[in-house]
Structure 1
Amino acid sequence: MLSQSVHTLVNQQNGNLSFKVFEFDNSSYFDHIQRNNYFTIIIITSGEGLAKVDLCEYSFKENTLFAFYPYQPFMLASDGPLTGISIQFHHEFFCIYRHHKEIAANGILFNNIYQQPFILLDENTKQTLMNIVREIVNELKMEALRKDEVLVSYLKIFLVFATRIKLEQQSIKEVNGNEKQLLMVQNLRNAIEENFRAKHSASEYADMLHVSPVVLARAAKNHFNMTLSDLITERIIVEAKRELYLTNKTVKEIAYELGYDDEYYFSRVFKGKTDTSPQLYRDTIGFNKG
């Protein structure tokens, strides 16, 4: 465990928290819905419970690593003691969207609507990640030149290792799954990825894949624990967030590019999934922030 409970780095320009590592010894930190404006990584070192993430629920136990992106709603409910560590970093400190080619974490570790938002750690992988965390804490304790650069380097290494583990576990799961259903699910992934801007209804994807809506909906529920409609909408929301975050396109332009002629209807869909309007999302963490 870490020698002290909380270690932080503050942005000297605006006074905002850039980076934080803290140790927790009970469930009170995450036992209510979180919608943080920063990335959150949580390693559960002991305890078990139920994670509520977006529209889904997952049981978890010790040696589980969670990865949540900004404004993703989540909470961890536990009947007994819950201990672990958390790493939190603001997009201004390190933006995984812009460093995707370097670490490949976006769409795998974070922001992956197709997979569960956690990975399981064996003792070796847990120790590897905890060793990196210790190096991060040691750096946070120091008063040294370009501390932020060193922390970003350690963070990148941590994310690369975690992403490797996630990819490994996805491969094992797919090998052990039902081959016919997995092929259907993979075709569904590809179809959504290629057509989510123009096709928004479950029936359109069922027609495209030449299966009944009921069969496709069952496959989506079994594999993703989401309805087919929610799966399509979540992919649209992910893209909308990227556009709001990284570009200066108007909400109307983004809505139109995502297949919505009515920007107000698009805004209602966005708010229904995120509890915030597109404009407020942009003003809070996006392109026009500040």
Structure 2
Amino acid sequence: MKDIPVHQLKERVNTGLEIRRFVAGEVPKKYENLGAHRDDHYIFFVIEDGAASLMIDFHELSFSSSTLYYILPGQVHHRIRNEVGCGWFIAIDSLLISPDYRNVFESRLQLQQPYPLNEEQLKLCTGILSLMCEKYQEENPGPFYLQVVHSLLQSFVGIAAGCYSDFDKQHNLLSRPDQLAQQFKKLLLTNIRQIKSPSAYAAMLHVSETYLNEALKKVTGFSVSYWIQQEIVLEAKRLLYYSEMNVKEIAHALGYEDHTYFSRLFKKVEGTTPLLFKSDYRK
């Protein structure tokens, strides 16, 4: 039996993001028949007009005009319909979303709801996305092309995080696995450089490693070790992209004395070496 496929953004683009505007009834061929799948990146939608529906981890969500929504890495989803909806689709590599913003988005794991944008917020979002799309699609990119695109992206993500941080929280009680998943990911964000042992995180959460593993698999579909490795590589990608540190220095900063072991781990998770990743992203 085939597992649920995981779609990787790096297989489609090398810029860390993908953006397109869709109109009513338009489904590009490369997005047809995707079926249920996971992504290794964030997806944001801004619905300008009409309506659309998605199935997210067995929950059907409907989107009306002037709404914002996001899908977390690892959530199983598939499109139900978008025949009458128009708006924006933005896929974003996790490394381009700061830990502060991620904390806002991930604190609502499995519970994120469409955010109703007021007229001013919708105008602001669509204005930034239109400018970003225009720059992103330039046929002859000039100097600082990627930096400008990423700066516009940061503006959009910041607005989205601001919307959700002010969003009235749902009062539904979280299940124990949901609570553990949220608590684990928050610990991971702040401790990944020092702590990489699944048993250590289980001890910090006062549960057994087996139970924590079962909870993570139930909520996200992935194990504790998977998320630890993903967070290590994500932090490494940030350092490769934003800092001037070399691979050996990054390995040491992340707690690895053996930088060759770190490089093997990076390649295992990312499918490329740290140096190749750096050269691809910092062209």
Q: How much does 1:29 deviate?
A: 5.0
Cα 1:87–1:224, aligned 2, differ >3 Å: closer, same or farther? closer
Whole-angstrom CA distance in 2 between matches of 1:79 and 1:198: 42
Give 1:3's aligned residue. none
Once the two structures are overlaid, the 10-residue window that deviates more, 130-139 or 248-257, is 130-139
Q: Where has structure 1 moved over 6 Å in runs of 4 or more?
A: 33-36, 72-76, 137-142, 151-157, 179-183
Q: How does 1:107-186 map to 2 (within 5 A)?
A: 107-109=103-105, 112=106, 116=109, 119-121=112-114, 124-125=116-117, 129-136=121-128, 158-168=156-166, 172-173=169-170, 175-178=171-174
Q: Which of 163, 188, 200 is 2:184 aligned to?
A: 188
Give the aligned partner of residue 51 of structure 2: 46
Return the letter of the residue paired with 2:44: I
SS in 1 for 2:62: coil
Q: How does 1:238-277 map to 2 (within 5 A)?
A: 238-277=234-273
Partner of 2:233: 237
Structure 1, unpaired ranges of 5+:
1-15, 52-56, 143-147
Per the alignment, residue 145 of structure 1 pairs with none
Q: How many angstroms apart in 2 are the aligned matches of 1:241 and 1:184?
A: 26
Is 211-220 or 124-133 further displaced after alignment?
124-133
1:244 Cα deviation from its structure 2 partner: 0.7
How far 1:245 moved relative to its partner?
Answer: 0.8
CA 88–208 in structure 1, closer or farther in 2 if over 3 Å, else same: closer
**1:201 Cα shift?**
2.2
Residue number among 76, 84, 87 corresponding to 1:85 in the alignment:
87
SS in 2 for 1:41: strand
The CA deviation string for residues 44-82 of structure 1, in whole angstroms up to 9 with x for no partner, is 56343456xxxxx6755332745589xx79996436545
User: How many aligned positions are there?
Assistant: 244
Most deviating of 204-213 and 180-189: 180-189
Query: Cα–Cα, structure 1 residues 237 and 67, in superposed 2: closer, same or farther, change >3 Å?
Result: farther
Q: Out of 159-168 and 246-255, give the one that drifted further.
A: 159-168
- 1:75-128 Cα offsets, whole Å, 9 max, x none, are 96436545442265999xxx966xx69xx535434xx5x654994325x42755
Given that residues 128 and 155 in structure 2 are in contact (C-alpha distance below 8 angstroms), is that contact kept between their aligned partners in structure 1?
no
Q: CA RMSD, aligned part only?
A: 4.9
